């Protein structure tokens, strides 16, 4: 009995994924001299949630920063993607901060700095 429900659940999940792919179209837009290519897809591992994946011209990495929200327009998605990518670029450009070793922290605490 349990096996039937698992198979049926998998079939329903596959059907809902096909429906979502048909209703959510991939799109491209340009911002700040970059071209963003966006599509809604499921993450690896067979999870039910759909995520916005995007690629940016000049970057080999593909990103999936947030889930698809029902009824969200492509303009709203584009704004979210640009904001997320801008924050990512800002974090990458910040100087690396190396943590202090445990013995340096202990030395500072003992001297009262």
Helices vs. strands in the chain: H and E counts, helices first: 3, 4
| Across 52-69, average pLDDT | 93
| Across 45-70, average pLDDT | 89
Residue pair 25/50 in contact (Cβ under 8 Å)? The answer is no
Identify the three-state secondary structure at position 90.
helix
pLDDT surpasses 60 at 28:
yes
What backbone torsions phi and psi does residue 45 show, to the nearest 5 degrees? 105, 5
Between 19 and 96, the more confident residue is 96
In this prediction, what percent of the chain has a pLDDT beyond 90?
49
| pLDDT at site 1 | 46
pLDDT surpasses 80 at 72:
yes
| pLDDT at site 32 | 94
Residue 57 and residue 85: Cα distance in Å, rounded?
A: 12
| Across 22-37, average pLDDT | 88
pLDDT surpasses 50 at 4:
no
Give residue-wise pLDDT tens across range 99-112: 777 777 776 777 66
Dihedral over Cα of 30, 31, 33, 39: its sign: negative
Residue 68 and residue 76: Cα distance in Å, rounded?
A: 11
| pLDDT at site 99 | 79
Dihedral over Cα of 8, 9, 15, 18: its sign: negative
The pTM of this model reads 0.64
């Amino acid at each position: 009995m349990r096996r039937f429900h698992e198979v049926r659940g998998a079939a329903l999940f596959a059907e809902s994924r096909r429906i979502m792919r048909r209703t959510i179209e991939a799109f491209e837009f340009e911002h700040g001299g970059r071209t963003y290519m966006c599509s809604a897809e499921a993450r690896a591992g067979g999870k039910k949630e759909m995520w916005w994946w995007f690629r940016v011209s000049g970057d080999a990495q593909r990103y999936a920063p947030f889930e698809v929200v029902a009824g969200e327009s492509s303009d709203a998605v584009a704004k979210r993607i640009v904001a997320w990518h801008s924050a990512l670029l800002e974090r990458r450009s910040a100087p690396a901060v190396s943590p202090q070793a445990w013995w340096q922290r202990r030395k500072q605490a003992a001297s009262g700095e």
